[in-house]
A and B are shown apart, each in its own frame.
Chain A
């Protein structure tokens, strides 16, 4: 009588158990790896949103500063134009108004005032 089939059966059973354990471990490892990847993606997406918000704020601030600078430039130019117009008006009145100079002399004087 041989014990071989019994031994073989025991070996097969043990082998099956080992395979089950190995398979279970592989599944657990795969699941853990998947979770780690999902966590990494979620973390990186949050980092991106954070950076995007910071960049948007920076851009909004830059736009605001640019807009302010442009407004200041426009206001300054407008004031200078008004000032020049007003000066021209005043010099005309002074030179050619009642008691002023004759027209030809007024023109010469105006040119002189304007540095021409």
Chain B
């Protein structure tokens, strides 16, 4: 497995099927259609506000992670990363720990002080994060209003 920092284009051009697998597996609201705002991702990347990392096996894209990075509005001198998406194809799992650690090292090199991951209750992989030194700091809840 090879981990690299790449661009959002790579995910949209090589990993479209992965995006759908990801959506089907973890989306909390399956009635809300997957419809990524590709333009917005490109704009964020051009502004240096998103970093994309990939997992490849023999050149094939089998996983990805993207983090929005920005200085925190409460602590403006602290650059912080918030995980947007993270996914590894089902049949290629078993490398998540190393991949997240790799992402963290890259984000550190980009000057990030803190990394936030959100974990679904239905797919709780927080024990892996805890083994990496993460601690639970927030709970995220959602309520449908439609």
Contacts and interface: CB of A to CB of B under 8 A. Distances in A.
A44 B38 contact: yes
Main secondary structure of the interface of A (DSSP, over half): helix
Interface string A96-112: 00000000000000000
A75 B45 CA distance: 56
Contact of A48 (B9, B16, B42, B46): B16
A48 B36 contact: yes
Q: How many of chain B's residues touch chain A, expressed as a range?
A: 10 to 19
B38 A48 contact: yes
B45 to A, nearest CB: 9
Contacts of A52: 20, 34
A41 B39 contact: yes
B97 interface: no
Interface in B78-110: none
B13 interface: yes
Nearest to B7: A40
B9 A40 contact: yes
Closest CB pairs A-B (n = 6): A44-B12, A51-B16, A44-B38, A55-B20, A47-B16, A41-B39
